[in-house]
């Protein structure tokens, strides 16, 4: 069990078995907090004390796992040594998760994790029984990555539920879960999950090391972890993949990636991540490979749209009139007639307006949701065009760009195109197409330099890996790809050796037999 | 990383020295020139007319009754100079990259094209693929002002008209700037050009009301093919000859011919020729070029006035041979006419000669047009009629058969 930097409360001293001393120490640590319960118990002949935090303890579990077994103990039961205590616990609490503790520190830790701790008079050990409770959200459909066909469950805020969702999908002894406690103030449980023997050992080791090296006070979301463990680069592109979908995480795990689950958030991150991961939706694999491939091409196209469309429009309109077919040019000119701003300013204005609208749409309370579409779409969009401030074509360009940016199956990925778009608009307005393409070149150069846990970000396109091409721009049928992604250098490369799609039998056997028989019978 | 941190901004800063792209012009700050006309000036050498689009008028929602284009002229010594001076009368920057049409008056064509072709070719903005036509009678500028209800901008109307004509009947040689320049540079080819003429009153055609009539007051129509020698106009062929000129040059895509069903018969049948190919063979005999044209055409019967039984193979064969005879005769007539009257190799036979009889052509290169007019031309046509539309026999033939 690894443990990150954490404020360790309580003395390193062993438990003495003196109840008053223990009570004093706990009172000193927790102070007057209302939810710490220290209840006196009688276990057989001995005095004992039950400690738990009321707010995170399930009363029913407490009764079932602690109070009822104690009540069933014979009255003459007496415990004198640690050995006897351990035996008693094994007998009394067998089947419910319990841990024998020897120091005050451990006891405090367990109480904070939602365990109930029993300290016994005269025994220099304590037992912690898992009784965690508290509010939990039920499993629901993920809100950020919805699909039409495929599993509908999503991760929730509870770590154990999330782990169970993964375990249930991958029923394999190779699935390993390692726990870390991160955050000196929050002491959050963080799990590193991988498939032993499939995931590259080096990558897992690197992830483990990076998790252990995190020095922070609070972790509330995988995003907090993400910034600590991502490779040291300033980039608008995400270098880890975070998702709400257990099926996506499971697929990543069996392809040789590692996952990090953080208690308290439904987002799980997987790593290493390459550019292409963000163009893949889990649904690609749940529907026909032709449709999956087609949608993937659409996604690449719409990424390019989201990134470049306004800047291309601006540069063509401002510098390269000869590139537009004459009828289109005439119609563009007639629409731009009387627009007071240069195309760059116009594009900037509209893009910023759109970003404001989007931000408002995300943040505002649901109840006023309709307002945004009326104010945004009608008032700003239509009125601006009718007032002659913005041209119609620009509205079309901005709208297409906006819609394209929502196509990315992974919402966070559109951040990169949203940010870079503005840079490209400026370049397009200043240098024309020349500037836009210079900008793209710098962007591609930057992408080539990115790495995620040692895997090049543009793999398997740059560096080119032929074996991985079956699942990049197009998805071949599942039986056609026999290897796990080679760019991840998995410890076991082959995923399905003897896989082939069945060809139909020459003639349907029973039919043939039937016919022969009837013929033979006749004479 | 640190090295990159310095290098990248430096590289980006160096972009600012790249001045090539500072010609920023918003589309609504420019006027798009779609057509140009060159006439001889009264006081100076040239009179250049430009036609710019009145774009709001072409907007589908706002467009109304105003003129779709604005025309302005000015006189000057060179076209290059004039092109920059047009803002004496027009408000916005002129953009020439969308020019579709250049109209030249007959007077200018007689004096020679060279003086202004250089500017057109050299100019960075002007493309080399706009159509060049010749205006017969009146000013070239008038052609740019005759309105039309569908393609409202006159030069776009003509451009579309010529493209369609070429595709449907082979009635336009589709001459662009690059073709003119190529044929001027080539010793084995002379330039040609379409001729347009205004039907009706040019003055009335210039008004918007011309677009409101079923029969427009004025209409620009194709009226023949101009023949040049070097860069000077020498004469013309009727528009009917254009498909044959194109056929001899192996540029014909589709045309229609009609022929008498039998020799000396008054009833005719019409054939739509869809797939036409010309194989040109060059030989030299006693220093006289021998031009053998092997024409292969495929087509379908579009209509017949005769009562022939079209279900018979024999009838098809007879029609095929009639087509062959008539086509060969007309083609030969056109070539001979050009040879004898103008002595200008507009068919590009010289280029073919250069390819096939290189030594001979190199010898006669300087006087090729003279050799061309002496050349013996033989035409062999192989026609194949493939089908005959929706009905096999005309009702006339059916009637005869049954009756």
Share of chain B above pLDDT 70, in %: 96
Residue A335 Cα, gap to closest chain B Cα (Å): 7
- Choose the final residue of a domain: A240, A273, A306: A273
**Could you tell me if residue A519 is inside a domain?**
no
Spell out which residues of chain B touch residue A335, defining contact as CB-CB under 8 Å: 59
Asked if A329 and B125 come within 8 Å (Cβ–Cβ), the reply is: no
Query: Is A334 an interface residue toward B (CB < 8 Å)?
Result: yes
Q: Which residues in chain B are contacts of A234 at CB distance < 8 A?
A: none
Is residue B251 within 8 Å of residue B352, measured between CB atoms? no
Q: Are A312 and A450 part of one and the same domain?
A: yes
Predicted pLDDT of residue B15: 64
Interface test with B, best of A319, A320, A334 (most B CBs within 10 A): A334
**pLDDT at position A99 over 60:** yes
Mean pLDDT of B165-178: 91
Question: Which residues 461-490 in chain A show a CB within 8 A of chain B?
Answer: none
Q: Using 50, 70 and 90 to split pLDDT, how confident is the model at A135?
A: confident
Q: Which of A317, A330, A431 sits opposite B58 (nearest CB)?
A: A330
On whether both B205 and B320 belong to a single domain, the answer is no
Residues A178 and A240 in one domain: yes
Give the residue among A425, A127, A457 at the shortest CA–CA distance from A272.
A457
In this structure, are A253 and A328 located in the same domain?
no
Percent of chain A residues past pLDDT 90, beyond the cut: 32
- Has residue A278 been placed in a domain? no
Residue B22 belongs to a domain: no
Q: How does B231-254 read in b/e, with b if 16+ C-beta sit within 10 Å? A: bebbebbebebbbbbbbbbbbbbb
A86 and A217 share a domain?
A: no
Q: Is residue B3 part of a domain?
A: no
pLDDT score, position A383: 84
Of B237, B270, B292, the last residue of a domain is B237
Q: Which of B57, B95, B156 sits opposite A321 (nearest CB)?
A: B95
pLDDT at A1: 36
User: Is the domain of B371 the same as that of B332?
Assistant: yes
Query: Are B299 and B376 in the same domain?
Result: yes
A441 Cα to chain B: minimum distance (Å): 12
Residues B352/B280, Cβ–Cβ less than 8 Å = yes
Res A191: pLDDT = 95
In this structure, are strands B131-135 and B101-105 parallel, antiparallel, or unpaired? Answer: parallel
Q: Same structural domain for residues A225 and A329?
A: no
Q: Is A340 in CB contact (< 8 Å) with chain B?
A: no
Query: B88 and chain A: CB distance < 8 Å anywhere?
Result: no
User: pLDDT (tens digit, 9 = 90+) per residue, A414-453?
Assistant: 888 889 999 999 999 888 898 899 999 999 999 999 989 9
A367 or A273, which is more confident?
A273
A311 at B interface, C-beta within 8 A: no
List the structure tokens of B51. 């036609």
Whether B204 is covered by a domain: the verdict is yes
Report CB contact under 8 Å: A337, B25.
no
Q: What is the pLDDT of residue A290?
A: 92
Higher per-residue pLDDT: A441 or A516 = A441
B34 reaches A (C-beta below 8 A) = yes
- Contact (CB, 8 A) for A155 and A165: yes
Same domain, B250 and B220: no
- Please, are residues B14 and B50 in contact by the beta-carbon 8 Å criterion? no
Per-residue pLDDT band for B164 (boundaries 50, 70, 90) equals: very high
- Token readout for B170 is 């082979």
Instruction: Mark yes or no for CB contact A442/B125 under 8 Å.
Output: no
Helix ranges, A319-391 (H): 326-336, 343-363, 369-372, 383-386
On whether any CB of chain B is under 8 Å from the CB of A336, the answer is yes
What is the span of the domain harbouring residue B376?
Answer: 241-403
d(CA B307, CA B286): 49
Residue B319 has pLDDT above 80, yes or no: yes
Query: What's the structural domain count of chain B?
Result: 2
Using a CB–CB cutoff of 8 Å, tell me whether A317 touches chain B: yes
Are residues A258 and A219 part of one domain? yes
In CATH, what number is assigned to the domain containing residue B330? 3.30.300.210
- In this prediction, residues A332-355 reach a mean pLDDT of 88
Contact list in A for residue B35 (CB cut-off 8 A) is none
Full DSSP string of A444-463: HHHHHH-EETTEETTTTTTT
**Residue B17 in tokens:** 């020295």
Are residues A336 and A261 both part of a single domain? no
Mean pLDDT, chain A, integer: 86
| A381 pLDDT more than 80 | no
The gap from C-alpha A180 to its chain's centroid, in whole angstroms, comes to: 17
* Closest-CA residue to A204 (of A468, A5, A490): A490
Among B24, B2, B88, which residue's Cα sits nearest to residue B50?
B88
Are B211 and B253 in the same domain? Answer: no
Is residue A231 in some structural domain? Answer: yes
* Phi and psi, residue A251, nearest 5°: -60, -40
Q: Which of A130-144, B28-42, B293-307 has the lowest mean pLDDT?
A: A130-144
- Range of lowest pLDDT (A367-376, A487-496, B106-115, B197-206): A367-376
| Closest-approach residue (CA) in chain B for A332 | B27
CB nearest B21 (choices: A329, A338, A434):
A434
The residue that leads in pLDDT, B208 or B221, is B221
Q: What is the pLDDT of residue A2?
A: 39
Whether residue B40 is found in the same domain as residue B188: yes
Q: Is A319 on the interface with B (CB under 8 A)?
A: yes
Verify that A73 and A183 share a domain, yes or no. no
B182 — pLDDT class (breaks 50, 70, 90)? very high
Indicate if B276 and B353 belong to the same structural domain. yes
Interface check for A54 against chain B (CB to CB < 8 A): the answer is no
**Average pLDDT, whole number, for chain B?**
89
DSSP-H helix ranges across A144-288: 159-169, 201-212, 222-229, 246-254
Of the three residues A244, A273, A302, the one that is the final residue of a domain is A273
CA angle A28, A32, A35 (to 5 degrees): 110
Q: Which two tokens stand for residue A126?
A: 């304590």
What is the Cα–Cα distance from B142 to B86, expressed in whole angstroms? Answer: 18
Centroid of chain to Cα B6: 58
- Mean predicted confidence (pLDDT) in A155-176: 93
User: Are B210 and B251 found together in one domain?
Assistant: no
Please, which contacts does B197-202 make with residues 24 or more away whose CB atoms are closer than 8 Å? B197/B135, B197/B136, B197/B137, B197/B221, B197/B223, B198/B135, B198/B137, B198/B138, B198/B142, B198/B143, B198/B146, B202/B138, B202/B142, B202/B145, B202/B146
Nearest-Cα distance to chain A for B270, in Å, is 37
C-alpha dist (Å) from residue A327 to A34, A318, B152: 77, 17, 12
Q: Which residues of A touch B62 (CB under 8 A)?
A: 334
Mean pLDDT of B366-375: 93
Same domain, A269 and A304: no
Give burial (CB, 10 Å; 0-12/13-18/19+) of B151: middle
The total number of residues written for chain A in this structure: 523
Residue of A331, A339, A432 lying closest to B28 (CB–CB): A339
Domain residues for the domain of A208 are 159-273
User: Does some domain include residue A118?
Assistant: yes
As for the ipTM of the complex, it is: 0.82
Residues A404, A351: Cα–Cα separation, whole Å: 13
What number is the average pLDDT over the span B41-62?
A: 87
Q: Flag whether B16 is in a domain.
A: no
B window 348-387, beta carbon within 8 A of A: none
Q: According to the model, what pLDDT value does residue B140 have?
A: 93
Of residues B351 and B129, the one with the higher pLDDT is: B351
Q: Could you tell me if A193 and A88 lie in one domain?
A: no
Residue A284 lies in a domain: no
Neighbour tally for A22: CB within 10 Å: 21
Q: Is residue B23 in a domain? A: no
| Both tokens assigned to A33 | 């907090």
pLDDT one-digit tens code per residue, A401-418: 989 988 877 878 888 888
Q: Is the dihedral of CA B106, B107, B113, B116 positive or negative?
A: negative
> Which residue of A318, A331, A334 is in closest CB contact with B26?
A318
Task: Over range B248-273, report the average pLDDT.
Answer: 91
In this structure, is residue B385 part of a structural domain? yes
Does residue A364 form part of some domain?
yes
**Residues in CB range of B27: below 8 A, 6 or more apart:** A317, A318, A321, A329, A332, A333, A336, A343
| B45/B73 same-domain check | yes
Q: Are residues B56 and B136 in the same domain?
A: yes
Within this chain, do residues B349 and B266 fall inside the same structural domain, yes or no? yes
* Domain termination site, one of B220, B237, B254: B237
Query: What confidence category does residue A523 fall into, taking pLDDT thresholds of 50, 70 and 90?
Result: very low
Q: Are residues B251 and B122 both part of a single domain?
A: no
pLDDT tens digits, A455-477: 999 989 988 998 888 888 888 88
- CB of B231 within 8 A of CB of B108? no
Check: CB of residue A190 under 8 Å from CB of residue A223: no
Q: How many CB pairs under 8 A join A and B?
A: 80
Residue bearing the bigger pLDDT, A209 or B25: A209
Chain B positions in Cβ-Cβ contact with residue A386 (cut-off 8 Å) = none
- Give the model's confidence band at B224: pLDDT under 50 very low, under 70 low, under 90 confident, else very high: very high
Among B237, B263, B298, which residue terminates a domain?
Answer: B237
- Residue B1 located in a structural domain: no
Q: How far apart are the first and last CA of chain A?
A: 81
Statement to judge: residues A117 and A223 lie in one domain: no
Q: Is B124 on the interface with A (CB under 8 A)?
A: no
Of the candidates A482, A475, A515, which has an alpha carbon nearest to the alpha carbon of residue A497? A482
**Per the domain annotation, does A510 fall within a domain?**
no
pLDDT in tens, A204-245: 999 999 999 998 999 999 888 988 888 877 888 988 898 999
- DSSP state, residue A1: -
Domain membership of residue B36 (yes or no) is yes
Tally the domains of chain A: 3
Q: Which residues of A touch B28 (CB under 8 A)?
A: 333, 336-339
Whether B32 and A321 lie within 8 Å, measured CB to CB: yes
Contact A431 B62 (CB under 8 A): no
Q: Is residue A485 part of a domain?
A: no
Pick the residue from chain B with its C-alpha nearest to A432.
B21
Is there a contact between A335 and B24 if contact means CB atoms under 8 Å apart? no
Distance from CA of A145 to the nearest CA of B (A): 36
């Amino acid at each position: 069990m690894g443990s990150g930097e954490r404020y360790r409360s309580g003395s390193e001293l062993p438990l003495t078995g003196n109840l008053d001393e223990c009570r004093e120490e706990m009172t000193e640590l927790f102070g007057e907090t209302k939810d710490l319960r220290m209840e006196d118990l009688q276990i057989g002949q001995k005095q004992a004390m039950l400690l738990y935090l009321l707010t995170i303890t399930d009363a029913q579990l407490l009764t079932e796992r602690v109070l009822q077994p104690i009540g069933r103990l014979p009255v003459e039961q007496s415990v004198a040594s640690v050995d006897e205590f351990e035996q008693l616990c094994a007998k009394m609490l067998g089947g419910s998760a319990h841990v024998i503790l020897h120091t005050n520190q451990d006891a405090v830790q367990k109480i904070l994790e939602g365990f109930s701790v029993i300290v016994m008079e005269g025994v220099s050990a304590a037992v912690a029984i898992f009784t965690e409770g508290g509010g939990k959200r039920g499993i629901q459909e993920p809100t950020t990555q919805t699909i039409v066909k495929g599993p509908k469950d999503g991760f929730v805020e509870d770590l154990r539920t999330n782990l169970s969702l993964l375990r249930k999908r991958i029923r394999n002894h190779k699935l390993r879960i390692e726990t870390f406690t991160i955050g000196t103030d929050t002491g959050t449980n963080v799990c590193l999950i991988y498939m032993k023997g499939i995931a590259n050992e080096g990558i897992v080791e690197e992830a483990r090391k990076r998790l252990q090296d995190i020095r922070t006070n609070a972790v509330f979301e995988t995003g907090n972890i993400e910034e600590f463990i991502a490779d040291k680069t300033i980039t608008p592109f995400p270098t880890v993949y975070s998702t709400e979908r257990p099926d996506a995480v499971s697929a990543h795990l069996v392809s040789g990636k590692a996952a990090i689950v953080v208690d308290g958030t439904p987002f799980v991150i997987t790593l290493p991540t390459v550019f292409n991961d963000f163009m893949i939706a889990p649904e690609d694999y749940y529907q026909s490979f032709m449709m999956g491939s087609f949608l993937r091409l659409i996604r690449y196209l719409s990424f390019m749209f989201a990134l470049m469309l306004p800047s291309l429009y601006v540069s063509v309109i401002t510098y390269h009139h000869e590139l537009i077919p004459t009828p289109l040019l005439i119609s563009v000119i007639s629409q731009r007639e009387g627009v007071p701003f240069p195309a760059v300013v116009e594009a900037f204005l509209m893009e910023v307006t759109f970003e404001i609208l989007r931000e408002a749409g995300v943040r505002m309370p649901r109840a006023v949701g309709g307002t945004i579409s009326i104010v945004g779409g009608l008032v700003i969009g239509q009125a601006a065009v009718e007032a002659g401030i913005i041209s119609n074509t620009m509205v079309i360009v901005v709208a297409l760009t906006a819609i394209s940016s929502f196509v990315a199956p992974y919402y966070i990925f559109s951040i990169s195109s949203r940010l870079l778009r503005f840079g490209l608009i400026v370049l397009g307005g200043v240098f024309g197409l020349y500037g836009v393409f210079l900008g793209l070149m710098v962007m591609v150069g930057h992408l080539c330099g990115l790495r995620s846990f040692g895997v090049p970000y543009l793999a398997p396109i740059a560096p080119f890996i032929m074996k991985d091409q079956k699942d990049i721009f197009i998805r071949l049928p599942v039986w056609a790809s026999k290897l796990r992604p080679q760019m991840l250098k998995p410890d076991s490369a082959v995923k399905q050796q003897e896989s082939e799609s069945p060809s139909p039998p020459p003639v349907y056997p029973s039919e043939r037999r039937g016919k022969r028989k009837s013929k033979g019978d006749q004479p | 990383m640190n090295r990159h941190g310095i290098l990248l901004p430096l590289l980006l800063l160096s972009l600012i020295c790249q001045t090539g792209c500072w010609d920023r012009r918003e589309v609504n700050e420019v006027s798009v020139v779609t057509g140009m006309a060159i006439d001889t000036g009264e006081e100076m050498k040239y009179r250049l007319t430009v036609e710019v689009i009145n774009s709001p008028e072409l907007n589908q929602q706002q467009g109304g009754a105003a003129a779709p284009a604005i025309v302005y002229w000015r006189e000057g010594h060179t076209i290059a100079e004039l092109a920059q001076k047009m803002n004496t009368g027009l408000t916005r920057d002129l953009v020439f990259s969308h020019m579709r049409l250049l109209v030249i008056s007959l007077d200018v064509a007689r004096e020679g094209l060279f003086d202004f072709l250089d500017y057109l070719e050299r100019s960075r903005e002007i493309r080399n693929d706009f159509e060049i036509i010749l205006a017969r009678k009146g000013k070239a500028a008038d052609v740019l002002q005759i309105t039309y209800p569908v393609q409202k901008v006159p030069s776009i109307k003509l451009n579309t008209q010529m493209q369609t004509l070429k595709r449907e009947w082979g009635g336009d040689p589709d001459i662009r700037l690059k073709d003119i320049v190529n044929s001027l540079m080539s010793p084995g080819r002379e330039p040609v050009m379409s001729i347009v003429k205004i039907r009706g009153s040019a003055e009335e055609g210039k008004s918007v009301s011309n677009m409101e009539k079923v029969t427009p007051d004025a209409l620009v129509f194709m009226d023949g093919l101009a023949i040049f020698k070097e860069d000077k106009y020498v004469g013309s062929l009727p528009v009917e000859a254009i498909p044959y000129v194109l056929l001899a040059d192996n540029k014909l895509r589709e045309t229609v011919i009609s022929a008498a069903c039998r020799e000396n018969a008054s009833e005719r049948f019409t054939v739509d020729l869809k797939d036409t190919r010309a194989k040109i063979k060059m030989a030299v005999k006693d220093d006289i070029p021998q031009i053998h044209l092997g024409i292969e055409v495929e087509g379908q019967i579009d209509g017949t006035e005769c009562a022939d039984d079209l279900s018979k193979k024999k009838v098809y064969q007879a029609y095929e041979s009639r087509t062959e005879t008539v086509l060969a005769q007309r083609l030969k007539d056109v070539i001979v006419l050009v040879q004898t009257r103008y002595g200008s190799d507009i068919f590009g036979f010289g280029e073919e000669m250069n390819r096939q009889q290189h030594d001979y052509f190199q010898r006669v290169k300087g006087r090729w047009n003279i050799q061309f007019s002496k050349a013996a031309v033989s035409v062999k046509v192989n026609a194949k009629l493939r089908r005959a539309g929706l009905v096999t026999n005309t009702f006339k033939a059916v009637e005869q058969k049954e009756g």
